[in-house]
Amino acid sequence: MNKSMVKVPMCVDAEIWPEGGLEVLSQLEVDLLKCSGAGGLYPLLRRCVLAVLNSGNDMDETKEVLQKYHDFEVNFIQQDRGLKVSLKNAPGGAFVDGRMIRGSRELVSAVLRDIVYTRHEILDSERFILDSSEGITNAVFHIVRNAKLLVLPAQVNMVVCWGGHAISRAEYDYSKLVGYEMGLRGLDICTGCGPGAMKGPMKGATIGHSKQRIRDGRYVGITEPGIIAAESPNPIVNSLVIMPDMEKRLEAFVRTSHGIVVFPGGVGTAEEILYLLGVLLHPDNEGQPLPLVMTGPASSESYFSQIDEFIGATLGPDAQKRYKIIIDDPRAVAQEVKIRLEDVLEFRKRHGDAFYFNWRLKIDRDFQMPFVATHESMQELDISEDLPTHILAANLRRVFSGIVSGNVREDTAEQIEKRGPFQIGGSRRIMDMLDKLLAAFVLQQRMKISGKDYDPCYVIK
């Protein structure tokens, strides 16, 4: 049926019962969720609930989403039977015949669960020392455990798929084929939960799982508040967790995964690649297996050549040895990952490690502390050739993180509008390589999906 023939109401008012452990909240928790003032959670709650209800949209600017639904409201009704959520002017696409789609209701419940738990049990609790490496890892573990991502009996079959939301149709279709091949081999999929390369592998895996009669396939989405409105969860996600910041999100990816596949993307994908390589290059992680495959259709070969060239020129050949590039061969990708997962299984058995959470992986504090992109913090980044390789990777990751923030976060965009683009400097050779890579992303339209010309939020000095 032609989608234009299906009339979807623009906005809907509704009342729903949350599920998944948040049927009952204390009065203090409800008051915080309703509060818009200092310390209140309402702005965060509204942003995240709007994002999950806006699943499937084609906008990748948080400001546009919030403006389109400027009169959207979330309220709470306390009853003896529990908590009811009241929505006003909610996106109509989340409803069928006036009733909220079951998957959308589950995602709204996940938002409530993670916002309440993170504030009360992590950020406001003295149980976690959030300026220490061990404390941060412990916090990440408790958040993903509370979200029920750690399933027992555990299998070594969770593949994280990274890639851009602004990809071509050919790249999207290719990501589905890879997901299909992985689904046929019983592999579950975890992504950043948005559109594009985050949706394609999940969509393909659903067919592969269906053919193998796998009824409990897992399609995990891990996101964070700063980008969720610009990358709303796709409809296939059946397990969502919202981490409090980008660094904890990235740590959740690598500690819960058994292998990683990277599809074409832009600055966000480059950030993820640099994060992972920086972690793997730490001397304490030598010998620890974590399969990393970069892949795309034949039309994307130049993209991966550029990424590979940049990594070789900045992090060196040791970093290049930590991944394999496979072009235009979905079956070979799935076979490579499946075979390499045997190494992961054997390593964890030999060392008595958990299958569901990689405690042994050393993640340096430089990769864990939240980086807030400001004109000052971006200008102060040390991009020197004499830094240890894993520290250089950490700082390069922050460069890309700042650009992502300038692209999708409305608060960062407002600062750029007032003060101009970020100034990024460092080693002349690395800056030339960085400028070349970012210019290629812009030329290939990998920064946006909204159809507008890209106005860079940065200047390479």
Mean pLDDT over residues 28-37, rounded?
85
C-alpha 426/C-alpha 438 separation (Å) is 15
Q: What is the mean pLDDT of the chain?
A: 90
Domain membership of residue 186 (yes or no) is no
Residue 224 lies in a domain: no
140 lies in a domain? yes
Out of 90, 119, 148, pick the residue that ends a domain: 119
| Residue 126, pLDDT score | 84
C-alpha span between 52 and 48 (Å, rounded): 6
* Distance spanning both ends of the chain, measured CA to CA: 52
Shared-domain flag, residues 138 and 109: no
Report the candidate in 368, 393, 389 with the shortest Cα–Cα distance to residue 381: 393
pLDDT given for residue 66 in this prediction: 72
| pLDDT bucket at 21, cuts 50 / 70 / 90 | low
Query: Are 389 and 436 within one domain?
Result: yes
Check whether residue 420 and residue 347 sit in a common domain. Answer: yes
Q: Quick check: helix, strand or coil at residue 79?
A: strand
Q: Tell me, what's the pLDDT at 64?
A: 72
Looking at the 3D structure of the chain, how many domains does it have?
Answer: 2
Residues 247 and 392 in one domain: yes
**Length of the chain (residues):** 461
For residues 167 and 36, membership in a common domain is answered with no
Residues 337 and 442 in one domain: yes
User: In this structure, what token pair is assigned to residue 236?
Assistant: 């296939």
Q: Which residues of 64-90 are buried (b: 16+ CB within 10 A; e: fewer)?
A: bbbebbeebebebeeeeeebebebeeb
Q: Do 403 and 288 share a structural domain?
A: yes
* Model pLDDT for residues 319-332, shown as the tens digit of each residue: 999 999 999 999 99
Residue 199 maps to a domain: no
pLDDT per position as a tens digit, 140-161:
999 999 999 998 888 999 999 9
The pLDDT assigned to 9 comes to 57
- Out of 119, 149, 181, a domain closes at 119
pLDDT of residue 410: 81
Domain-embedded: residue 223 = no
Range among 19-33, 34-48, 308-322 rated most confident? 308-322
Q: Give percent above pLDDT 90 in the chain.
A: 69
Inside any domain, residue 237 = no
Largest CA distance in the chain: 66
Tell whether 388 and 302 lie within a shared domain.
Answer: yes
Say if residue 93 is in the same domain as residue 65: yes
| Cα torsion angle, 327, 333, 339, 341, sign | positive
The CATH code of the domain that includes 331 is: 3.40.50.450
Rounded Cα gap, residues 376 and 231, in angstroms: 27
77 with 84: CB under 8 angstroms? yes
Question: pTM of the full predicted structure?
Answer: 0.91
pLDDT in tens, 396-415: 999 999 999 998 888 898 99
Average pLDDT on 92-108 reads 90
Q: How confident is the model at residue 56 (pLDDT cuts 50, 70, 90)?
A: low
Give the range among 15-19, 184-188, 316-320, 420-424 with minimum mean pLDDT: 15-19
Do both 44 and 160 map to the same domain?
A: no
Summarised one tens digit per residue, pLDDT across range 114-136 is 999 999 899 988 889 999 999 99
Across-strand partners of 458?
422
CATH (domain of 21): 3.30.1850.10
Question: 13 and 90 in contact (C-beta within 8 Å)?
Answer: yes
Is the domain of 93 the same as that of 152? Answer: no
Is position 250 within any domain?
A: yes
The answer to whether residue 4 scores a pLDDT higher than 80 is no
Determine the pLDDT at residue 312. 95
Q: How far apart are CA 53 and CA 102, in angstroms?
A: 11
Q: Which residues pair with 324 in a beta bridge?
A: 293
Assess whether the previous peptide bond of 225 is cis (omega < 30° from 0). Answer: no
User: How far is it, in rounded angstroms, from Cα 293 to Cα 307?
Assistant: 13
**252 and 152 inside one domain:** yes
Look at residue 1 in the predicted model and tell me its pLDDT: 47
**Ordered strands of the 73-79 beta sheet:** 11-16, 82-91, 73-79
- The arithmetic mean of pLDDT across residues 54-82, rounded, is 74
Whether residue 426 is contained in a domain is answered as yes
| Domain interval for residue 28 | 11-119
What's the CA gap between 57 and 281, in Å, rounded?
A: 38
User: Side chain identity at 430, as an amino acid letter?
Assistant: I
More confident residue, 162 or 411: 162
